[in-house]
Amino acid sequence: MSQKKHAVIIFDGLCNLCNNKINFVIRNDKKDYFRFAPLQSEIGKKQLAKHHIHQHNFNTFFLLENNKTYKQSTAVLRIIKKLDGLWPILYVLIIIPAFMRNVIYNIIAKNRYKWWGKRDSCAVPDGANLEKFL
């Protein structure tokens, strides 16, 4: 029996914007490709350490896919590429150099708590999506 390969998204579990993005991915991931772990969780911390990522870097989220780590706008575009619907069309933005894409990404990341708010603790997934969280 073969085990399905999943990519893992590590995100800021306290950030309202980040949680909304995760919910968006879940709704548009009909192939059940992604799994999720908050940066603040033990699993998230272990995954970061395993991939040699400093835990103080909470201004981005990470995509762990095929033993590679992606962050910032590159992670966003790689995630979008795997979603259902017309979203993969946006992957064409990968032709813009990452340093240019990340200017916008970093402005949003820096202001995400101010613009979208922050939770006191990580959200708990509902029963239907519980198996998607590590």
pTM for the full predicted model: 0.87
Q: Which residue has the higher pLDDT, 60 or 115?
A: 115
Position 1 scores a pLDDT of: 39
Give per-residue pLDDT as tens, 12-58.
Answer: 888 888 888 999 999 999 999 999 998 888 888 888 888 888 766 56
Position 28 scores a pLDDT of: 96
Position 124 scores a pLDDT of: 66
Q: What is the DSSP string of the chain?
A: -PPPP-EEEEE-TTBHHHHHHHHHHHHH-TT--EEEEETTSHHHHHHHHHTT--TT--SS-EEEETTEEEEHHHHHHHHHHHSSTTGGGGGGGGGS-HHHHHHHHHHHHHHHHHHH-B-SSPPPPPTTTGGGB-
Position 34 scores a pLDDT of: 96
Q: What are the residue boundaries of the structural domains of the chain, listed by start?
A: 7-122
